[in-house]
Amino acid sequence: MVQLTQPGDAGASGRAGASGAVRTMSYAAAAAAALADLMRADASVVALGEDLGRGGIFGQYRGLLEAFGPARVIDTPISEATIAGSAVGMALTGLKPVVEMRVVDFALCAMDEIVNQAAKNRFMFGGQGRVPMVVRMPIGIWSASAAQHSQSLEAWFAHVPGLAVVCPATPQDNYALLKAAVASGDPVAYIEHKELWGLEAEVDASQAVEIGRARIARAGRDLTIVAWSRAVHEAMQAAHTLAGQGIDAEVIDLRTIWPWDRETVEASARRTGRVLVVHEAVQAAGFGAEIVATLAERGVAKLARLGAPRAPVGYSPPLEAQARVTAAKIVEAASKLVGAAR
């Protein structure tokens, strides 16, 4: 398993790059910086949810209350349906709310507001109203958080017409994609990963990222590994191990799963002839099945997918380990796929 740093304050180092100011910061701090930039530039951007006043439970709102005040950084009661419903109303009357659900598991209490109100409004009323609302709902296993705080439910939201689904894997993308999500003018399920909050890397504030555009994280010729969110880091570690075995793997960070970048994935698949789709979510009915089915319909490449077993995430370390999709498991699946295709 790839070891990532724990949540904490981002580094404050910076340099002047060719494209502008570049700072080293954590995944959590990158999101806070993006939201601060958005709020400074646009008075209609507001944030609401539980524990925002203390910076969010992962530090992803740190400093915003002090900078923008309680009228724009709004602490709410513990009622996800109320939070999401209020945000829909705000959005329909001209604001751009960024909604905090704490974890995706809690967003299930707000499904009617997200699925039947936010996602449907533009279509039901002929475009007369839009819901520029971003719902942040962190996914994934967070050590010892057990079955009700460890789910990866991004495929649920990808199934809903009217929602974009964004899954950033790096501090750079968490900065740029949060800005893109708010600017999109439509509801976005913004799905961060709880075990990435402390991950540090350089962030170029001038670098934009388009929703629906994948990133080739590593070029390769023998196999394509498609992943998103934290699974990207496991895939990169697996690619390093595979290289030592003579298998040159290309790694695609999908970034957004709806819309997803079919062109980049298919082009890579045609080059390598083999595709393994990897995600932390349960494999059965996961979004990997959609990607594999799409490529199969086009007759592209040898295909396989890897996800978690269809079982709740256990609290005990051995049970939790069974639910994790690790670099070692990716290496095993990739080796089988390459061997089968030769």
**Could you write out the DSSP letters of every residue in 220-267?**
-SSEEEEE-TTHHHHHHHHHHHHHHTT--EEEEE--EEES--HHHHHH
Domain boundaries, the chain: 14-204, 215-341
- Give the tokens for residue 147: 């079955």
Q: Are 29 and 5 in contact (CB under 8 A)?
A: no
Residues 6+ apart with CB under 8 A from 149: 103, 105, 142
Residue from 149, 193, 233, 279 carrying the catalytic annotation: 149
3-class secondary-structure state, position 31 = helix
Residues 6+ apart with CB under 8 A from 3: none
Superfamily of domain 14-204: Thiamin diphosphate (ThDP)-binding fold, Pyr/PP domains (3.40.50.970)
Distance CA 33, CA 178 (A): 10
Determine the pLDDT at residue 147: 85
- Give the tokens for residue 23: 């700072």
149 is catalytic: yes
Options 2.40.50.100, 3.90.850.10, 3.40.50.920, 3.40.50.450; which CATH number does 215-341 get? 3.40.50.920
CA atoms within 13 A on the CB side of 255: 26
Token pair 């819901």 is found at 131
pLDDT in 10s for each residue of the chain, 342 residues: 555 544 444 443 554 444 458 999 999 999 999 999 999 999 999 999 999 989 998 889 999 999 999 999 999 999 999 999 999 999 999 999 999 999 999 999 999 999 999 999 999 999 888 999 999 999 999 888 888 888 999 999 999 999 999 999 999 999 999 999 999 999 999 999 999 999 999 999 999 999 999 999 999 999 999 999 999 999 999 999 999 999 999 999 999 999 999 999 999 999 999 999 999 999 999 999 999 999 999 998 999 999 999 999 999 999 999 999 999 999 999 999 999 655
Distance CA 112, CA 109 (A): 8
Strand partners, 306: 278
Strand partners, 303: 275
Q: Are 193 and 228 in contact (CB under 8 A)?
A: no
Token pair 């439509």 is found at 186
Please give the sequence-ordered ranges of beta strands (E in DSSP) within 104-213, or none if there are none: 134-136, 164-166, 188-190, 200-204
The structure's pTM equals 0.93
CA atoms within 13 A on the CB side of 77: 5
Determine the pLDDT at residue 316: 92
Nearest to 228, CA basis, from 192, 255, 262:
255
**Tally of helices (H runs) and strands (E runs) in the chain:** 13, 15
Distance CA 319, CA 145 (A): 12
Nearest to 135, CA basis, from 172, 171, 90, 182:
182
Determine the pLDDT at residue 65: 95
What is the DSSP pairing of strand 223-227 with strand 215-218? unpaired
DSSP state letter for 316: S
